[in-house]
Amino acid sequence: MIENSLALGILIAGATAFILYKINPLFKVPGPIITILTNWWILWHTYFERRNRLIHKLHIEYGSIVRLGPNEVSIADPGYVKNIYVDNYDKSHFYFLFTVYGKVNAFSAIDKATHSRSRKVVHQLYSKSAINASFIESLILEKLQQLESYLDSPQPIEVIKLFRSLAMDVITAFQFGKGHGSNLLGDGAVREAILGKFKILFTSWFFGPYLPKIAQYLYSKDFYSAAEDIDNWIIESMRKSGYPHDSIANRLIKGGLDELEAASEIADHIIAGHETSAIVLTFLTWHLSKNPEIQSKLQNEIRSAVKSNGGSLPAFKEIDKLAYLQGTVQEALRLYAPIPASEPRVVPPGGLNYRPSSPLYGQLNRGYFIPGGTVVSIQPFTLHRDPNVFEDPLLFNPERWFVNNPNLSKMNRSFLAFGAGIRGCVGSNLALQDIKLAVAYIYASYTTIVSPRTTDISMESNDRYSIRPKADECLLIFDKK
């Protein structure tokens, strides 16, 4: 009797597995069973800001490949950055949100052909040599002097707003030409208005990317009004600038884009660039403030470079060579990647034969065939914490990035803060110049301390596509010594 029931049970389980497999070949891929039936499970957790940490936990539990929904998998394997990102799978519909003025731009383009039209024009404008040849270094230094006027106070300073203003003033000047960028550091009223509107946009982060087909019905009136104001602010700033020859706007138009296409591209650079750079600076300065030993090593490096340069900050090309500064910025980008979440792509029609290239968290999965059309991604949050690659991964250790570390190329392979391949971050050189100059400028003269109101809990990052401290403030005390 028991044997018959057991046989029947096995038969039913086998038949169910067979039917589910026929319904969906991702059935075999490990993951919570509910994900074979619906993607509402992952969306639910995404909405309640648990996605990145949940996917991370799933990888620890199931290994380097996890099913997230009937048509979506997450891979945590540096060996597949090449297939998915460098070989340039098409983007998923997640990116529709980033279309502005009804015009597709480099960020929101789904397929390769549409993307390459925008990217071709923009790519060389952001190369390291183009940035070095531009006015950007002198502009950043001017802006840092403006920023410094807020630091000489015994009161704690809220730095997120200041760093967002710095990044915005720099990026907009790069877009519209020197003298035509914003002046958020100089004008408190405009700063509050503009940053407030961007905050509304960022607060509505969920609907656009994760429910693109119905997002337009779900946004609030405030969202539409903020989006319209920002769109108008950008296009009016562009028109007012008169497209000077040193602006991105000028080069985009010369590259064959019409006015709205150029504005769409620029709006995206402003959205993608100002918040991300500011968030790195926030977490980095907070981390240094909590760790006087690391801060002091960094100060020693920067201050001896200043001394060798006759008492003034060396040019960026010298700052760029400072190894401890480089390690500190890399660590901030590793542990506080401003975009730690999945960058979804679509597996091409031939499918992807996934064979794990290395064990993740000590587990080596079997291989699986991922059919064409499946949404696939690798989240930096997990790659950046892999103990097989980063020794003691939660430790903020700038020295791990020194060139004599034999693990360096392995770590670089797993470093995804700027994405990878031709769809990786076009603005990384600008961002790094901005961040490194700001850190060098501040720590050449100041020591920073965390204000008691800013705690590890208040600084815990939220769990979204792009992150911020949960309390949305970071109070530091700047001491001129």
Closer by beta carbon to ligand HEM, 36 or else 167: 167
For residue 190, with 0-12 CB atoms within 10 Å meaning exposed, 13-18 middle and 19 or more buried, which class applies?
A: middle
Q: How far is the CB of 266 from ligand HEM (least distance, A)?
A: 9
Q: How far is the CB of 105 from ligand HEM (least distance, A)?
A: 7
CA distances from 235 to 95, 176, 301 (A): 22, 10, 43
Among candidates 195, 147, 190, which has minimal Cα distance to 472? 195
Distance from C-alpha of 475 to C-alpha of 481, rounded to nearest angstrom: 18
Cβ-Cβ contacts under 8 Å for 458 (sequence gap 6 or more): 469, 470, 471, 473
Cα 447–451–455 angle (5° rounding)? 120
Q: How far is the CB of 339 from ligand HEM (least distance, A)?
A: 4
Among candidates 392, 403, 390, 323, which has minimal Cα distance to 78? 390
The arrangement of strands across the sheet holding 447-450 comes to 157-158, 475-479, 447-450
Q: How far is the CB of 173 from ligand HEM (least distance, A)?
A: 11
Closer by beta carbon to ligand HEM, 314 or else 380: 380
Q: How far is the CB of 170 from ligand HEM (least distance, A)?
A: 8
Instruction: Dig out the tokens for 456 from the structure.
Output: 């590890």
Q: How far is the CB of 128 from ligand HEM (least distance, A)?
A: 13
Closer by beta carbon to ligand HEM, 389 or else 431: 431
Closer by beta carbon to ligand HEM, 339 or else 459: 339
Contact 282, 268 (CB under 8 A): no
Closer by beta carbon to ligand HEM, 39 or else 114: 114
Closer by beta carbon to ligand HEM, 271 or else 477: 271
Q: How far is the CB of 119 from ligand HEM (least distance, A)?
A: 5
Q: How far is the CB of 223 from ligand HEM (least distance, A)?
A: 22
Q: How far is the CB of 440 from ligand HEM (least distance, A)?
A: 16
Contact 448, 476 (CB under 8 A): yes
Closer by beta carbon to ligand HEM, 136 or else 147: 136
Q: What are phi and psi of 182, to 5 degrees?
A: -75, 170
CA distances from 100 to 29, 190, 227, 328 (A): 37, 22, 10, 35
Instruction: Dig out the tokens for 189 from the structure.
Output: 């009223």
Contact 185, 143 (CB under 8 A): yes
Distance from C-alpha of 370 to C-alpha of 354, rounded to nearest angstrom: 7
Q: How far is the CB of 427 from ligand HEM (least distance, A)?
A: 2
Rounded to the nearest 10°, the torsion over CA 184, 96, 205, 59 is -120
Using CB under 6 A, list all residues that contact ligand HEM.
106-107, 119, 171, 268-269, 272-273, 276-277, 280, 338-339, 343, 417-419, 423-427, 430-431
Closer by beta carbon to ligand HEM, 30 or else 161: 161
Closer by beta carbon to ligand HEM, 36 or else 140: 140
For residue 147, with 0-12 CB atoms within 10 Å meaning exposed, 13-18 middle and 19 or more buried, which class applies?
A: buried
Contact 69, 42 (CB under 8 A): yes
Per-residue DSSP letters for 116-152? HHHHHHHHGGGSHHHHHHSSHHHHHHHHHHHHHTTTS
Q: How far is the CB of 430 from ligand HEM (least distance, A)?
A: 5
Instruction: Dig out the tokens for 315 from the structure.
Output: 């040019």
Closer by beta carbon to ligand HEM, 338 or else 356: 338
Closer by beta carbon to ligand HEM, 37 or else 133: 133
